[in-house]
Structure 1
Amino acid sequence: MRKGQATRERLMDIAEGAIMDKGFGATSIDEIIAAAEITKSGFFYHFPDKNALAFALLERHQQREDELFDRLEARAATLSDDPLHSFLIFITLLAETMDAMETGFPGCLVATFVYQERLFDRNVIVLNRSLVLRWRDRFRGQFERIAERYPPRDTVDLDQLADFVSTVVEGGMVMSRALGERQVLSGQVLVLRSYVKLLFQPALD
């Protein structure tokens, strides 16, 4: 990694940590550059303003999230070509990944930005909302494939079911952080797994 790129990544790491701890509004450019030990002009070389920083953080968050989900989905697909079984494996792998993270699964930048939406320009707001819809599209696609083979045992809107995945993960993060118990998040994800299994698994005759 080139020096300039390394500095940019360090600034983003510092900013993201501070934002997750106390919010975007309470995180100042001065504290970021002090922690990074660079000049203010050095910061503005990489980010013209805080909105540009926020946009870059969301783009990186999206890339990392996509890479994680793509990797886990690919792994699940190698273990089963059945869409329901593959999804259940994916959820198990996701829960295991969350538990294996040394510092616990990080809080969601998307939710943090939603709570402080008034601080951002339209570009950041639009990107943040697109990340939420990205989850919906990803998981709806999985549920559509499952439903083609296993009709759900209860009436369910697949968009709402896909959003339920986001709700469980986001809520699990809040609960885990509030209680100081990192396993709460993975536990909630496994409860989601049980629900999906019961919803689509054929009834026994």
Structure 2
Amino acid sequence: MGRGEATRERILAIAESAVLAKGFGATSIEELIAEAGITKSGFFYHFHDKNALARALLERYMAREDAQLDDVFARGRELAGDPLHGFLAGLKLLAETMSDLPGDYPGCLVATYCYQERLFDRDVRELNRRIVLRWRLRFSAILDEIVVQQPPRAPVDTQALADMVSTIIEGGLVLSRATGDSQILPTQLMLLRHYIQLLFEP
């Protein structure tokens, strides 16, 4: 990693911590500059305004979440031979991962942006929309595969069910942050896992 790239990554890490602590609107460019030990022109070299910083944070979050979900559900599929039990194993692994995190979930960034959408330009809102649609596509592809091999007990729209998975994850993040109880999200994931079992297992 070159010096410029390392500086950019340091700014993003500082910004993420500040946003998790107090929200995006209350995070100032000046405090990020001071914490990073750079000049104002140094900051604007990497991010021409606060919206550019928001886009970069979301892109960083998206890449990290994609990698984590890829890993968790690939490991779940390795543990079980069929799509249903692979997905169930993946949900359990995700719940365990979330339970073991030492602090706030970086995924709270997305929730923060959703609540403060008026602060952002069209590009940031579009990126946020793309994140939601990517999650829908990810989970609906898994669920479509499950439906082929194991018909559900009742008719199910796999895209709506995929949105339910995303809603539980993001809603669990919001509730965990609001209450200070880090176990809410893992508990919700295990309840979702039980529901999927009841829906698909014979």
TM over 0.5: yes
Confirm or deny: 8 A CA contact 1:98 1:104 kept in the other structure. no
Match for residue 45 of structure 2? 45
1:7 matches 2:36: no
Deviations 1:97-143 (A, max 9, x none): 11121225334222211111111111111111000111100000011
- Which segment drifts farther, 82-91 or 154-163? 154-163
Superposed, 1:65-76 pairs within 5 Å as 65-76=65-76
Deviation at 1:18, TM superposition (A): 1.4
2:114 alignment partner AA:
V
Looking at structure 2, the residues matched to 117 and 27 of structure 1 have their Cα atoms a distance apart, in angstroms, of: 15
Confirm or deny: 8 A CA contact 1:99 1:105 kept in the other structure. no
Count how many residue pairs are aligned between Structure 1 and Structure 2: 202
- Residue 151 of structure 1: SS of its match in structure 2? coil
Match for residue 84 of structure 2? 84
RMSD between aligned alpha carbons? 1.2
Confirm or deny: 8 A CA contact 1:77 1:86 kept in the other structure. yes
Confirm or deny: 8 A CA contact 1:8 1:46 kept in the other structure. yes
Looking at structure 2, the residues matched to 20 and 101 of structure 1 have their Cα atoms a distance apart, in angstroms, of: 14
Match for residue 193 of structure 1? 193
TM-score, L = length of structure 2: 0.95
Looking at structure 2, the residues matched to 26 and 102 of structure 1 have their Cα atoms a distance apart, in angstroms, of: 24
- Which segment drifts farther, 82-91 or 21-30? 21-30
2:162 alignment partner AA:
A
Superposed, 1:1-205 pairs within 5 Å as 1-202=1-202
TM-score, L = length of structure 1: 0.94
Deviations 1:138-169 (A, max 9, x none): 00001100111111112222111101111111
Confirm or deny: 8 A CA contact 1:168 1:189 kept in the other structure. yes
Taking only the aligned residue pairs, the percentage that are identical comes to 59
Structure 1 residue runs of 4 or more that deviate by more than 6 Å after TM superposition: none
Deviation at 1:179, TM superposition (A): 2.3
Looking at structure 2, the residues matched to 40 and 126 of structure 1 have their Cα atoms a distance apart, in angstroms, of: 28
